């Protein structure tokens, strides 16, 4: 009974002593959360480096065959394709010789020499061969361009096959010229739709933002976790405030290490809650959203961090050792929990142990609490 009474007194005394640290806690919370929040937002923006790729120069020669309008329509259709827009730079040359010069200067990788009446030859099925000159057919760029051309040709070849098959069937069933034209146009337009309107058949989703919290929310939650862990730099003198003489006196009253850890845990929890409030208000203002439930749901994370701080404070000999231990521990917890690099980018062994470490769960819990996910 006496032991419990003394423990109660110890906890009360620790909480009273904590009052002296309130200003330091608030200032430190501002500084540390500022540093960690800045780092979190920078990492969120840069962790996936913007990809860069080489734009492939493709030269083309269009003949003066009286079908310029049709040829230009074909080129415009090609230019409008997303793959062409993002990968290639189409350059018209006035003569094949000019094209060869550009090839030699390596300003273009491919030269497409369009023969006379090319488009009409596709329409009537004679398919005059297209001449494609490649400067270097061994580079990645040339393989990518080659694959694009083959894909375009596949669309065209399939559309032709479908149209020819339809016309054959129409003749076999004695359709009138008007009916044949109508059915051919329908088939033509159908295949044109599949080749040109690809964008309507898929949705592009940024995979880096997939999951419960998006990348920024994840990193802000991670920054809050790190800020709370590093609040230990301020709390350590408070938690290690009893000298050897005091500790000996405590032990005569039955208060041992376990009780001191327990008391330290409770005062850490209070201090962390104050720091969390500051982060909570800051993030609510920045994101212009308020999730009152988050004031309660974050408590398990605060308890976990408080316990770690109290354990380190009571199990290490000096302030310096305790602070350095918390620095290393905080970074390890954040790294293994996916708070520094996304979980998917971590080595597979780290991903496997991540589930057994607190970081992953603390970040998820804080993200839920802060953003109401």
Interface pattern 43-82 for other proteins (x via CB under 8 A)? x--xxxxxxxx---------------------------xx
> Which positions from 255 through 314 interact with other proteins, judged by CB under 8 A?
none
User: Cα(25)–Cα(17) distance, rounded to whole angstroms?
Assistant: 13
By C-beta, is 10 or 333 nearer to other proteins?
333
The least CB distance from residue 227 to other proteins, in Å, is 10
Angle between helices 22-46 and 257-287 (to 10 degrees): 60
> Which positions from 341 through 360 interact with other proteins, judged by CB under 8 A?
342, 344-345
Query: Binding other proteins by CB under 8 A: which of 69, 177, 201, 296?
Result: 201
By C-beta, is 54 or 285 nearer to other proteins?
54
Angle between helices 232-239 and 319-336 (to 10 degrees): 140
The least CB distance from residue 335 to other proteins, in Å, is 10
Q: How far is CA 323 from CA 22, 276, 329, in A?
A: 19, 20, 10
The least CB distance from residue 307 to other proteins, in Å, is 20
| Residues 163 and 187 sit within 8 Å (Cβ to Cβ) | yes
By C-beta, is 109 or 369 nearer to other proteins?
109
CB atoms within 10 A of CB 250: 18
Most distant CA pair in the chain, distance: 111
User: Cα(117)–Cα(123) distance, rounded to whole angstroms?
Assistant: 10
By C-beta, is 149 or 361 nearer to other proteins?
149
The least CB distance from residue 146 to other proteins, in Å, is 5
Q: Binding of other proteins at residue 85 (CB under 8 A)?
A: yes
User: Cα(2)–Cα(350) distance, rounded to whole angstroms?
Assistant: 47
3-state SS, residue 239: helix
User: Cα(195)–Cα(81) distance, rounded to whole angstroms?
Assistant: 9
The number of C-alpha atoms within 13 Å of 53 and in the hemisphere containing its C-beta is 14
Q: Binding of other proteins at residue 13 (CB under 8 A)?
A: no
> Which positions from 308 through 327 interact with other proteins, judged by CB under 8 A?
319-320, 323-324, 326-327
By C-beta, is 189 or 285 nearer to other proteins?
189
Angle between helices 358-371 and 319-336 (to 10 degrees): 80
> Which positions from 136 through 195 interact with other proteins, judged by CB under 8 A?
137-138, 140, 142-144, 146-158, 160-162, 164-166, 168-169, 172-173, 183, 186-187, 190-191, 193-195
The least CB distance from residue 112 to other proteins, in Å, is 10
Residues 6 or more apart in contact with residue 195 via CB below 8 angstroms: 155, 156, 159
Q: Binding of other proteins at residue 254 (CB under 8 A)?
A: no
Q: Binding of other proteins at residue 216 (CB under 8 A)?
A: no
CB atoms within 10 A of CB 350: 16
Size of the residue set binding other proteins (CB under 8 A): 93
CB atoms within 10 A of CB 218: 26
By C-beta, is 155 or 273 nearer to other proteins?
155
Q: Binding of other proteins at residue 213 (CB under 8 A)?
A: no
Residue 161 φ/ψ, nearest 5 degrees: -60, -45
Choose the binding region for other proteins from 249-257, 260-268, 272-280, 337-345 (rule: CB under 8 A): 337-345
């Amino acid at each position: 009974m006496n032991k419990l009474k003394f423990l109660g007194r110890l906890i009360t005394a620790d909480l009273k002593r904590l009052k002296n640290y309130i200003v330091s806690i608030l200032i430190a919370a501002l500084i540390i959360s500022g540093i960690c929040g800045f780092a979190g937002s920078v990492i969120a923006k840069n962790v996936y480096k913007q990809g860069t790729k080489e734009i492939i120069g493709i030269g083309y020669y269009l003949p003066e065959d009286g079908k310029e309008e049709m040829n230009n329509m074909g080129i415009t259709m090609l230019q409008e394709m997303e793959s062409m827009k993002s990968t290639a730079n189409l350059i018209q040359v006035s003569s094949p010789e000019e094209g060869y010069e550009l090839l030699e200067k390596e300003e273009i990788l491919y030269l497409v020499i369009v023969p006379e009446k090319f488009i009409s030859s596709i329409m009537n099925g004679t398919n005059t061969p297209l001449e494609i000159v490649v400067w270097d057919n061994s580079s990645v760029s040339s393989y990518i361009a080659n694959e694009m051309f083959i894909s375009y040709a596949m669309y065209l070849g399939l559309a032709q096959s479908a149209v020819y098959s339809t016309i054959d069937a129409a003749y076999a069933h004695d359709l009138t010229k008007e009916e044949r034209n109508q059915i051919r146009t329908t088939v033509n337009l159908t295949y044109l739709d599949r080749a040109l309107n690809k964008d309507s058949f898929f949705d592009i989703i940024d995979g880096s933002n997939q999951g419960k919290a998006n990348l920024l929310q994840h990193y802000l939650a991670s920054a809050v976790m790190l800020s709370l862990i590093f609040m230990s730099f301020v709390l350590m003198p408070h938690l290690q405030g009893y000298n050897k003489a005091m500790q000996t006196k405590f032990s005569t009253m039955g208060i041992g290490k376990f009780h001191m850890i327990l008391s330290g845990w409770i005062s850490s929890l209070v201090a962390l809650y104050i720091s969390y409030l500051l982060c909570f208000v800051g993030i609510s203002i920045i994101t212009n959203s308020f999730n009152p439930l988050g004031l309660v749901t974050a408590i398990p994370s605060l308890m976990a961090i408080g316990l770690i701080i109290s354990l380190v404070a009571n199990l290490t000999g000096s302030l310096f050792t305790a602070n350095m231990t918390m620095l290393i521990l905080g970074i390890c917890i954040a790294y293994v929990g996916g708070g520094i690099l996304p979980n998917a980018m971590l080595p597979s062994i780290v991903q496997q142990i991540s589930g057994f470490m607190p970081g992953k769960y603390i970040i998820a819990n804080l993200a839920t609490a802060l953003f109401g996910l």
